[in-house]
Chains A and B, each alone.
Chain A
Amino acid sequence: MQESATPPRSSRPAKKRAAVVTAGLAIGALLLSGCVESQRDDETAGGESGAAVDSTFVFAASSDPASLDPAFASDGETFRVSRQLFEGLVGVEPGTADPAPLLAESWETSEDGLSTTFALREGVTFHDGTEFNAEAVCFNFDRWYNWTGVAQAPSVSYYYNNLFRGFADSPDAAVYESCEVNGDLEATVTLAQPFAGFVPALSLPAFAMQSPTALEEFAADDIGGSAEAPALSEYAESNPVGTGPFKFDSWDVGEQLQLSTYEDYWGEQGDVETIIFRVIDDPQARTQALQAGTVDGFDLVSPADIPTLEDEGFMIVPRDPFTILYLGLNHEVEELSDPLVREAIHHAIDKQALIDQTLPEGTQLATQFIPDVVDGYNDEVTTYEYDPERAIELLEEAGYPDGFEVEFNYPTNVSRPYMPTPEQVFTNLTDQLAAVGITATPSPDVWTPDYLDKIQGTADHGIHLLGWTGDYNDTDNFIGVFFGQEKLEFGFDNPELFAALDEARGMTDREAQTAAYEEINEQIAEFNPAIPLAHPAPSLAFAPRVDSYPASPVNDEVFNMIELNE
C-alpha cells in the first residue's frame, strides 16, 4: 500500500525535537551555572555555627519597615526593627511603661523643668566604631531641630513634630532650645518651654541615638526626593547605624530583612545571633507559617487562633494592654448630644460580655480612656454599670420612649491591636443596643482611606468604633489626642475640658500632673463624651523552641532577651 510507505513523519522529528530542547536546556543550565560568583559564606549557611541552639530567629512581620531611620517613622513594624538596632538615652522598665536608664545612666532635671542633664554610659560604641558620647547626643538633638523642607512634614517626622512642635526656622513654637556638651559623658538639653513628658518621650524609638558619622556619610536628612513624594535617604535605605545589640545586614524589600549580632555591644548578647524579619502581610498566612515551622514567632495573633495554636504546643505571650477601644459618639447627631441618651447607651452595654465574646484573652474592661499602667489612672472614677432597665428609663426621660435609630460606623477587613475583629464587635454591640430600643443602622467602610476619613475628616457619622495604641507613658498621648480640642469625630465643644487638658500638658511637676490627670479622667467620665469599652491585650505566638520573650506593653522588645532551648 502506497500510504503505508509514507514514514510516520510527525512523531519521530517531534520526539527528536523534544530531546534536543531538553538537552539544550540542560547544557544551557550547566553552562550558565557558576558564571556569576556566589557570595555565600562557606560555613555559616543557615546561621548554625555549632552553638547549643539554632541562633537564627525568624520573626514574621506584617510589613516592611517604612524606613530604617526611626526618626522618620511612626509605625510599629519600623520600630520593631529599629529597637534591635538603636537605643535611646532613656529606655523602659521591663514589662512596664515607665522610663528607665539606657544610654543615659541617670538624669537630673532643673527646678524650672527646662533643662535636663544626662550622665551617659561609658564604653558604648556605634556599629561603625564611632564613640557614643555627649557630642553624639547633641548632634542628634541638633539634627532633629534643624530639619528643613520635607523632613518637617508631620507624616515624615511625626513624633518630633508632635512632641517638640517647632524647628530652628520656627523657634517660637519649638519646645527644644539647645544642647550643651559638659564633658565627654555629660550633656545638658535645654527646653524653651516646660514639657513634663520630655524624659519618658525619649524612650520612643524615634528619638534613638544614631551615629553622627553615618548620618553625615549617608546623607540621612537628604530626603527631598521628587517634589511629589519624599524619597528614602541612602542612610534610611541601607545604612542605619546605632548602638543596639544587633547591626544591619541586608534588606530584600517585600521579602525579608536580616540583622546580626554586634560583637562589641556593651550589654548582654543573648541566644539570638541572627534575626530575620520575614514579611508576611496576611494574618492567616503568618499563623500558617508558624505552624509549618518557617518562622519562629509573630505578633497580633488573631483571638480565634489562640486555642488551636496552644493545643498544637505553640507558646502564646500576651502583652499587658496599652490600648483603648471605644465607642465614639458624634454629638452633632441630635440624640447623641443629649447627656441622658449618652448615659443610657453606657448602661445598655455589657462590656464584660463584649470582651468575653469578641476580644482576646487578657483584655481588661475599660472604665476610662487610659489603661491602668498610665499615669493619672483614676481608680475611683464614675462608672456606668450594665443595667438595660436603667437605660430604657433614661431614654424615656430623654423623650425617646420607643428608642431611636442611629448610624453605626465600623471598619471592615482590618485588624488593629485594639480591635482585632471590628465586625464582631459591631454585631455584638448592635444586639446589646437593640435590647434597649436603639436601632443601629450598619455603615461599614474599608479602613483606609474611607473609614478614617469619614470619622475624622467629616461630621457625617453616628456612633463608631475606634481606638488607640499608646506610644509611651504619657497621658496626654491618650486623652489629649481624643478630647484636647474640638474634633469632627466627636463634634462637641467643651472649653472647660480643653483648658484642663492644656494646663495639665504644660505642668512641670510630674506628681501634680498625675493628680490633674486623675481629675480630668473623672471630668471626662461625668461628661461621658464616648464609651470606653476595653483595653484589648495583643498577643504574640512562638514556636516551642522559644523559652521566653520580653513582652512589653509599649512594645519595647529587644531580641537579645529572647531565650531559646534548641
Chain B
Amino acid sequence: MLRVIGKRLALLVPTLIGLSILLFLWVRNLPGGPATALLGERATPEAVERVNELYGFNEPIISQYFTYMGKLLQGDFGTSINTGRPVLEEFATRFPGTVELTIVALIFAIGIGIPLGYVAARYYGRFVDHGSVVLSLLGITVPVFFLAFILKYLFAIQWPILPPDGRQDPRMDATHVTDFYVLDGILTGEWDAAWDAFQHLILPGIALGTIPLAIIVRITRASVLEVQNADYVRTARAKGLMEKTIRNRFILRNAMLPVVTTIGLQVGLLISGAVLTETVFAFNGIGRFLRDAIFGLDYPVLQGFIIIIAILYAVINLIVDISYSIIDPRVRVS
C-alpha cells in the first residue's frame, strides 16, 4: 500500500510541472495587465510601463518562468500584487473557512443524499421516488446564487434566526488559534464562539451543498437500483437472509462504490472554493479571493492558488482510491 501511495505521489510531479507551464502561459496571455488593474482610472502609459518594469513583466517569458519555478521549489509562492502579502499566507488565512464550509456542505449533502437516494430506489416508481427525482433535478437546476439569496432573505432577514454573512459575529470577542473558528471555540472553551461560528456555516453550507446533494441522490438511487437486482442479492434472498441484513450488508455496501467516487470529486470541487456562495454570504474563503485575483490579474495568487488546489485535488483522489479497498475488499489499489 505504501509503495502505491509513493508511486502515485511521484506521478504528481510531472503533472504539476505540466500544469505550471500551462498555467504560466495562460495567465500571462490574459488581456490587459496587472498594472492596468492596479492603477484603475489613474493608469497613464508611463505609470503602466513603470509598474511592468518593477514587477519584471518585461522580461522574456521563459526567464520569468524559471525565476518563478526556482522560488516555488524553495517554498516561495511569491507575493500577491493586490494585497502585498505572501501568497501562502493569503491561502492559509482563507483555507480554513473554505474547509469548514466544505465539511458542513458535505454533511448536508451526504446526510440527506444517501438515505434519500436509497429510499427512492427501494420504493422505485412510487411517490417517494418521483419526489426525490424532482428534488434532485431542482437541486441541480436552481442557480446557487439564487438559492443562496433566497435562503438568506428568508432565514436571516425575514425571520432572522441565522446570521446573514461572514464567519462569525463581528462583535464576538473570540480567540483565533487555528483559524478554524468552530475548532478554535472548542479548543479555547469559548463555546458561544464555536456555536456562533457553526451557525454562520448553516445557510452557506446548505446553499453550497445542494448540487452535491442532488448528484449524490441520483447516483445512490441508480447504484442501489442496479445492485438490488444483482444475482448475489437474489441468492441472499433465496437463502432467506433477513431483509435488513441484505439491505445493509449486500445492497448498501456494494452500491456505495460509485457514490464514494462522486463524493471524492465533489470534495475536490468544494475545496477549491465556492465563488458565488462565498460572495453572497460575504464568507472569507478561497473562492472569493481567487475571483478577485482573476479580475485583478494577480499572477502570483492565480498561479500559487491553482497549484496548491491541484495538489489537494490529487491527494483527495488518492484518498478516495484507497477508501475503495476498505469499502470493497475485491478492489485492490494497484
- Taking Cβ atoms with an 8 Å cutoff, the residues of A that contact B are 1, 3, 6, 8-11, 14, 29, 32-41, 44-47, 56, 58, 64, 66-67, 74, 150, 153-155, 158, 223, 225-232, 236-237, 252-256, 276, 278-282, 284-285, 288-289, 291-295, 446-450, 452-453, 456-457, 466, 468, 488
Contact = CB atoms under 8 A, between A and B. Distances in A.
B54 interface: yes
24 contacts: A14-B248, A34-B189, A36-B175, A46-B171, A56-B171, A228-B68, A230-B54, A232-B85, A256-B166, A279-B282, A285-B281, A288-B157, A288-B164, A292-B156, A292-B164, A294-B163, A294-B169, A448-B37, A448-B295, A448-B296, A449-B32, A449-B36, A453-B36, A456-B36
A229 B171 contact: no
A299 to B, nearest CB: 15
A155 B176 contact: no
B221 interface: no
Given A150-B54, A292-B164, A457-B36, A66 B240 contact: no
A453 B282 contact: no
B7 to A, nearest CB: 32
Given A34-B188, A457-B43, A457-B45, A230 B248 contact: no
Given A288-B157, A449-B31, A33 B244 contact: no
B142 to A, nearest CB: 18
B328 interface: no
B94 interface: yes
Given A8-B242, A40-B174, A278-B170, A292 B43 contact: no
B174 to A, nearest CB: 7
Contacts of B184: 36
A280 B292 CA distance: 13
A292 B297 contact: no
B187 A32 contact: yes
B81 interface: yes
Nearest to B279: A282
B245 interface: yes
A153 B163 contact: no
A453 B79 CA distance: 24
Nearest to A488: B45
Given A58-B171, A292-B156, A453 B242 contact: no
B85 A237 contact: yes
A226 B89 CA distance: 14
Given A226-B79, A255-B284, A231 B86 contact: yes
B84 A232 contact: yes
Residue from A29, A66, A282 having most chain B Cβ neighbours under 10 A: A282
A11 to B, nearest CB: 6
A40 B186 contact: no
Given A38-B190, A289-B165, A225 B79 contact: yes
A285 B36 contact: no
Contacts of A231: 79, 84-86
Contacts of B50: 153-155
Nearest to A448: B37
Contacts of A3: 239-242
Contacts of B44: 456
Contact of B156 (A11, A225, A278, A288): A288
Given A45-B173, A288-B152, 10 more contacts: A8-B244, A11-B244, A33-B191, A64-B83, A155-B35, A229-B300, A231-B84, A236-B84, A276-B171, A285-B280
Contact of A6 (B56, B79, B241): B241
Contacts of A280: 165-166, 282
Nearest to A255: B284
B254 to A, nearest CB: 14
Nearest to A418: B41
Contacts of A58: 170-171
A294 B244 contact: no
A514 B39 CA distance: 29
Contacts of B317: none
Contacts of A9: 245, 249
A51 to B, nearest CB: 15
Nearest to A161: B47
A293 B169 CA distance: 11
A158 B50 CA distance: 12
Contacts of B42: 74, 158
A442 to B, nearest CB: 19
Interface string B282-294: 1010001100100
A225 B41 CA distance: 26
Nearest to B240: A3
Interface in B130-170: 149, 152-153, 156-157, 160, 163-170
B160 A293 contact: yes
B78 A154 contact: no
A11 B243 CA distance: 11
A249 to B, nearest CB: 11
Contact of A282 (B82, B168, B280): B280
A288 to B, nearest CB: 5
A40 B175 contact: yes
Contacts of B160: 292-293
Interface in B287-313: 288-289, 292, 295-297, 299-300
A56 B169 CA distance: 13
A64 B83 CA distance: 9
B46 to A, nearest CB: 8
B79 A230 contact: yes
B265 to A, nearest CB: 25
Nearest to A223: B84
A289 B164 contact: yes
Contacts of A37: 175, 188
Contacts of A66: 82-84
A194 to B, nearest CB: 23
B177 interface: yes
